[in-house]
A and B are shown apart, each in its own frame.
Chain A
């Protein structure tokens, strides 16, 4: 059996991602529950990389058996990632706007509290 670069890199990336998630738990930025879900997800990625035959079960369900179909499905995956990234950016912008609105609202309260 020949081992491809992907089969080495994907599990390594998974280990890094899992360690990062648990480091966030220790820094109180992620809950144990969230880190567990994250761990399951990355373990799945690593398992598929190490043993691609696992995907045979997926082909039975999805019907993706040809290479052309694989390209098609991968394209959807990439588009999904782009949408995911855009949603994250939008969330950041929304939060930034909320912080500005809140600062303006609280300025008056702080001034009144200082006077008292």
Chain B
């Protein structure tokens, strides 16, 4: 099975090289979708061995993820792994996440940062809990860590996935897609590494409110 990793990245020159190198041993191709970075992110990703796709304008992590998935389809991917470029996910967890997709027991595998004893700041736990509740309200499906960017899409999900939301709200849309297409779901506890850099990269409170409003509005008017 051809496995492709999709890493959406926006101004991640500090971490992109190590993320690409860490993922390489578990997949056939590493695709970095540079979402209009103004720093050296695309050059460093390429130097580390990734294929780089460039957005001419910053369009949001949802848009970058969908671009990556479409590129992976063109390159013949059977399985797509998505993960963040800020080093918060441990690439050693990839085989664990791949297993349900490879043995055909799940179409989509969600990583669960809260399923293990991870050192997660309280504010992050709170934001994620709110995100989970909003996702459940909008989709009717409970996912323990709906807002995590670390996911594996099996062959069926790779074929059927269609993300229309551009920003962080795409995580909720993926859960909606799993309901819409009746994908079988698995949730695997993973390690998470929060550094000052990772925390600075996260959504602000205002950004979170905007995301929540967009999700609710979208689910209503769709």
| In contact, B54 and A105 (Cβ under 8 angstroms) | yes
| In contact, A87 and B53 (Cβ under 8 angstroms) | no
Q: How far is the CB of A39 from chain B (nearest CB, A)?
A: 12
Q: With the chains together, A109 CA to B176 CA distance in Å?
A: 28
| In contact, B166 and A98 (Cβ under 8 angstroms) | yes
B67 within 8 A of A: yes
Name the B residues within 8 Å of A33 (CB-CB): 138-140, 179
Contact with B along A33-72 (1 / 0, CB 8 A): 1100110000000000000000000000000000000000
Q: With the chains together, A87 CA to B217 CA distance in Å?
A: 9
Q: With the chains together, A91 CA to B166 CA distance in Å?
A: 10
Contact with B along A16-28 (1 / 0, CB 8 A): 0000000000001
B143 within 8 A of A: no
B126 within 8 A of A: no
| In contact, A102 and B63 (Cβ under 8 angstroms) | yes
Contact of A31 with B63 at beta-carbon distance under 8 Å, contacts A37-B220, A97-B57, A105-B55 already known = no
Contact of A106 with B74 at beta-carbon distance under 8 Å, contacts A31-B179, A33-B139, A95-B166 already known = yes
Chain B contact-residue range equals 20 to 34
B221 within 8 A of A: yes
| In contact, A104 and B56 (Cβ under 8 angstroms) | yes
Q: With the chains together, A98 CA to B222 CA distance in Å?
A: 18
Which residue of the partner chain B has the closest CB to A110? Answer: B74
Q: How far is the CB of A107 from chain B (nearest CB, A)?
A: 10
> Which of B55, B176, B218, B221 meets A101, CB within 8 Å?
B55
| In contact, A105 and B53 (Cβ under 8 angstroms) | yes
> Which of B74, B166, B179, B180 meets A109, CB within 8 Å?
B74
20 contacts across the A-B interface (CB closer than 8 A): A30-B222, A31-B179, A31-B180, A33-B138, A33-B140, A34-B138, A34-B222, A87-B217, A98-B60, A98-B166, A101-B55, A101-B56, A101-B63, A101-B67, A102-B66, A104-B56, A105-B55, A105-B67, A106-B74, A109-B74
Chain A residues in contact with chain B, CB under 8 A? 28-34, 37-38, 84, 87-88, 91, 94-95, 97-98, 101-102, 104-106, 108-110, 113
